[in-house]
Amino acid sequence: MLALLLALVACAPVDPLAARRAWVQDQLVTDNRLFLSRDPQRVAEKLDRMAADPYDYLRGSNRLWLADRANAFHERPPTAFLSVDAARATLLVGDAHPENASTYLVAGWPDMALPIEMIDLDAAGVGPYTLDLGRAALGLALLGEGLPDCAWEGCQDAAVSALAEGYAETVLGDPDEARRVGGGIFGRLRDEAEEEGPARQRLTELTVSTSEGLRLRTDTGLDAAHAGLLPLDRDEEAQARALFAALDLPAGSRLTDAARRFGVGISSLPALRYLLLVDQGSPTDEDDSLIEVRELIEPPAMPGAPAQPFDDNAERVAFAAAALWSEPMVAPGYRALCLDGLYWRALPVSSFVLGLDHLKIAEDVEAGEVELADVERLGGELGQLLAQSHLRAGMVTGGDLRPVLIADLEAGGGEDGLRAELLGDAEAESATLLVDWGLLNDLIEEEGPLLGADGLSGVL
C-alpha cells in the first residue's frame, strides 16, 4: 500500500511556478515572522520596497537566497571548490552585495584616504568563502539589470568575471603588492564622502538649530516614502537613554536628543532603530555627532558552515568588525551590545560614511559620467576587497588563511574555474531572482501587503 501511495505522489503533476510561488511566500513570511507580530505595518513597507525594485528585492531576500542554496532539490551544479575543509570556516561578510561597500572615517584622515570596506556586518558569520563571492556576483548581475545598455554579454558577465579575477589574484598574488581599493566608481564614492564629510551634510539634513543647540528634525514625521524621524514616547526615551549609556562613549559625551528612525534599509527596515544626537562637550555644535543604534536579529543559516563560535549576536558582529575591517573607526565608533534582552549595533551617521547606491550608479551611467567599463572595474575591486577582508581576518581558530584559500582555489581550477562557476551561478540565480520578484508582486496583489500573513495567529 505504501509503495502504491508513493507511486501516486511521485506521479502527481506539479506546476513548478505555483510550487515556487508557495515556497517564496513561505520563506518571506517566515523571514519576517518576528516583525509581523510586532510591527506588521513596517513589514508591509519592506515588502513593498522589495516589490518596487529587483535590487531591493535582492537586499531583502538574503535568507531566501541562502535557503535556495541549501535546498537539496535545487537543480544547481555541485561546486568545484570547498574540497579543503578549512575553506568552509572563513569569516564572512555574510551579505556581500555591492551596496554593502562603504567609505568610513578613520583617525588618520585627511592624511590618509578614507578606507572602503564591506561595512554592513549584520549577517556576518563563519562559513564557506564562496558564499560571499556568490552573493557579490549576484549583486553585480542585478546591478547590471538596472543599467542602460548593460546586457549579460559584455557587461554583467564582465563584472562577474572581474570579481573572480580580483579575488583570485589577491589571494594567489604577492601580499606585499596589495592595491588599495578606490578607483572608478569607488573613487567617485570616496571623493563625494571626502567633500561632503567636512561639511557635515548628513548632520545638517537631520538636525535643526535652536536656542538650546542642535536638535533632531522630528517635526516633519514620515514623508511620502515613509522615511523620517518621530519623537519618542516615554518607554522609547528610556530605552534610548539606556542604549546611550551602554555605548560607553568618551568622558564628557552627553545625549542631547533622540528619535525613532523609520524607512531606512531594506532587510532591516522593520527593526527597532534609534537616532542619537551626541554632544562631545564643546559649548558649540562643532563636535556634535549622530549615532544610529539598531536592533540586531539572528542571521540566516549558512549552508555548509560549521557551528558558529560566537556566544551571541553582539559578540559576532563586534568580532567581525574588528577582524574584517582594515582600520578601526574613530569615536563615537562602532559598537555592538546587549540591552533589554535584545542585541544592538551602533554606527555613526556621517557624510564620511557613504555607501554605493545602484540607482545613483544608473543615473551616472545614463548621464555619461560613468562608463560600463567602470562597472567591470567595480567587480574587480569588489573581489579584491572581499579577498583582503577574508585574508585579514585569518583563520577563526587562529592562523594564516592564505594557504587554505590557495589550496582550495587551485583544487577547483584556479581563477578560470572560479570565473566559470561564478558566471554560471550568477546568470542562473539572477534569472531566478527576477522570477521571484515577479511572484512577490503577484502575491502582494492577490494576497495583500502581508502576503496573507495577517491571518496568522499573533499578527494584527
Q: Does 285 fall in a domain?
A: yes
Average pLDDT over residues 403-415: 97
Q: Are residues 42 and 161 in the same domain?
A: yes
Dump the DSSP string for 347-402: EEE-TTS-B--HHHHHHHHHTTSS-HHHHHHHHHHHHHHHHHHHHHH--TTSS-SH
Q: Does 274 fall in a domain?
A: yes
- Residues in contact with 262: Cβ distance below 8 Å, sequence separation at least 6, in sequence order: 42, 222, 226, 227, 228, 229, 230, 273
Last residue of a domain, one of 316, 349, 382: 349
pLDDT, averaged across the chain:
91
Give which of 433, 441, 429 is closest to 47, Cα–Cα. Answer: 441
Q: Are residues 189 and 54 in the same domain?
A: yes
Q: Are residues 207 and 305 in the same domain?
A: yes
Q: How far apart (Å, rounded) are the C-alpha atoms in residues 2 and 178?
A: 62
Q: What is the pLDDT of residue 254?
A: 94
Q: Does 7 fall in a domain?
A: no
Q: Are residues 212 and 191 in the same domain?
A: no
CA distance to 99, 163, 242, 352, 378, per residue, from 383 (Å): 14, 4, 40, 23, 9
Q: Do residues 37 and 458 make contact, with C-beta atoms less than 8 angstroms apart? A: yes
Last residue of a domain, one of 323, 349, 375: 349
Q: Does 165 fall in a domain?
A: yes
- The single residue listed with the C-alpha cell 515556497 is 23
Q: What is the pLDDT of residue 17?
A: 94
Q: How far apart (Å, rounded) are the C-alpha atoms in residues 208 and 134?
A: 43
pLDDT more than 90, % of the chain: 77
Q: What is the pLDDT of residue 7?
A: 58
pLDDT more than 70, % of the chain: 92
> With a threshold of 0.85, does the pTM exceed it?
yes
Q: Are residues 235 and 323 in the same domain?
A: yes
Q: What is the pLDDT of residue 459?
A: 57
- Residues in contact with 179: Cβ distance below 8 Å, sequence separation at least 6, in sequence order: 384
Q: Please state the domain count of the chain.
A: 2
Q: Does 13 fall in a domain?
A: no
Highest mean pLDDT (candidates 108-117, 172-181, 255-264)? 255-264
Residue 112 burial by CB count (10 A; 0-12/13-18/19+): exposed, middle or buried? exposed
Q: Are residues 302 and 213 in the same domain?
A: yes
Q: What is the pLDDT of residue 224?
A: 44
Q: Does 355 fall in a domain?
A: no
- Confidence bin at 175 (pLDDT 50/70/90): confident
Q: Does 5 fall in a domain?
A: no
Q: Does 14 fall in a domain?
A: no
Last residue of a domain, one of 298, 315, 349: 349
Q: Are residues 319 and 391 in the same domain?
A: no
pLDDT, tens only, 295-324: 998 999 999 999 999 999 999 999 999 999
Range of the domain at 238: 200-349
pLDDT, tens only, 419-457: 999 999 999 999 999 999 999 999 999 999 999 998 664
pLDDT, tens only, 215-269: 999 866 655 445 689 999 999 999 999 999 999 898 889 999 999 999 899 999 9
pLDDT at 176 over 90: no
Q: Are residues 55 and 128 in the same domain?
A: yes
Q: What is the pLDDT of residue 3?
A: 60
Q: What is the pLDDT of residue 106?
A: 87
Q: Are residues 162 and 237 in the same domain?
A: no
Q: What is the pLDDT of residue 9?
A: 57
- Confidence bin at 460 (pLDDT 50/70/90): low
Cis (ω within 30 of 0) for the bond into 328? no
Q: What is the pLDDT of residue 226?
A: 53
Q: Are residues 42 and 148 in the same domain?
A: yes
Q: What is the pLDDT of residue 67?
A: 94
Give which of 208, 206, 210 is closest to 227, Cα–Cα. Answer: 206
Q: Are residues 287 and 169 in the same domain?
A: no
pLDDT, tens only, 27-54: 999 999 999 999 999 999 999 999 999 9
Q: Are residues 158 and 244 in the same domain?
A: no
